[in-house]
Amino acid sequence: MYQLSLTYFDIAAGRAEPARLAMHIGSIPFEDIRFPFSQFAEVKKKTPLNQVPVLTIDGRQITQCNSINRFIGKLAGLYPEDNFQAMLCDEIMSALEDAVNKLMPTFHLPEKEMKNAREALAAGPFTLYLQRNGGTYFADNRLTMADLKVFEWVRTLNSGFLDHIPATLVENTAPLLNEHMQRIAQIPAVAEYYAKG
């Protein structure tokens, strides 16, 4: 078995959360290295691309969250073996990265500009991304990394954590995705993960 550690901010959300959750579901031992935002300037100096998450595998650092998700998904049995189903899983994960990449620049804007930018995202691009309503699961007719990534994204949008993004955005624009999030939250291993705090 690999020696694994995952380095990311000390939040129960974001780009590392699907991999953390998958390792919990798959009972994969790993060191969960979390740090406050205030330490990011120092932490990123020790990462390959000055960014997180970073998955360290037997001492080698790997970046890019969807690469990490695929690797962990395979270890946890949460990534499709069929090539077409794997592509469907990748499509969803990539679409969500597009959405996150539109959001990230807004974190460093002055308040008024942030408000305008985020309201524009909520009215346009985010609504577009949220229109993609899946069935019970997004790929392989079972729980995969695509579901965990969608779950994390919808959970974050619903939390009200993002200023100027309405917490009702998903409920109002993509109610089936809201139902999907609630369904994933009720999976015993997922509920247990968040019950631990």
Q: Is 108 exposed, middle or buried (0-12, 13-18, 19+ CB in 10 A)?
A: exposed
Q: Which residue has the higher pLDDT, 196 or 5?
A: 5
Q: Of the residues 76, 92, 120, which one is the last residue of a structural domain?
A: 76
Question: How many structural domains compose the chain?
Answer: 2
Does residue 194 lie in a domain region? no
Instruction: Tell whether 40 and 103 lie within a shared domain.
Output: no
pLDDT digits (tens, 9 = 90+) for 108-138: 999 999 999 999 999 988 888 786 655 689 9
Mean pLDDT estimate for the chain = 94
For residue 164, what pLDDT band results from cuts at 50, 70 and 90?
very high
Across the range 37-60, mean pLDDT stands at: 96
Q: What's residue 133's pLDDT? A: 54
Instruction: Tell whether 94 and 183 lie within a shared domain.
Output: yes
**Is the model's pLDDT at 5 over the cut of 60?**
yes
Instruction: Tell whether 44 and 130 lie within a shared domain.
Output: no
- Alpha carbons 22 and 190: distance in angstroms, whole number: 9
- Alpha carbons 97 and 103: distance in angstroms, whole number: 10
Across the range 77-98, mean pLDDT stands at: 96
Q: What percent of the chain has pLDDT over 90?
A: 88
For residue 197, what pLDDT band results from cuts at 50, 70 and 90?
low
CATH number of domain containing 92? 1.20.1050.10
Across the range 138-163, mean pLDDT stands at: 95
DSSP labels, 86-149: HHHHHHHHHHHHHHHHHHGGGGGS-HHHHHHHHHHHHHTHHHHHHT---SSSSBTTB--HHHHH
Does residue 123 lie in a domain region? yes
Q: What's residue 102's pLDDT? A: 94
Instruction: Tell whether 68 and 136 lie within a shared domain.
Output: no
Across the range 71-91, mean pLDDT stands at: 97
pLDDT digits (tens, 9 = 90+) for 88-115: 999 999 999 999 999 999 999 999 999 9
Q: Of the residues 12, 43, 76, which one is the last residue of a structural domain?
A: 76
Instruction: Tell whether 29 and 46 lie within a shared domain.
Output: yes
Does residue 196 lie in a domain region? no
**Is the model's pLDDT at 191 over the cut of 60?**
yes
Look up the pTM and report it.
0.94
For residue 1, what pLDDT band results from cuts at 50, 70 and 90?
confident
DSSP labels, 146-184: HHHHHHHHHHHHHHT-STTS-TTHHHHH-HHHHHHHHHH
Instruction: Tell whether 157 and 118 lie within a shared domain.
Output: yes
Question: Which residues span the domain enclosing 105?
Answer: 83-187
Q: What's residue 128's pLDDT? A: 82
CATH number of domain containing 63? 3.40.30.10
Q: Of the residues 26, 51, 76, which one is the last residue of a structural domain?
A: 76
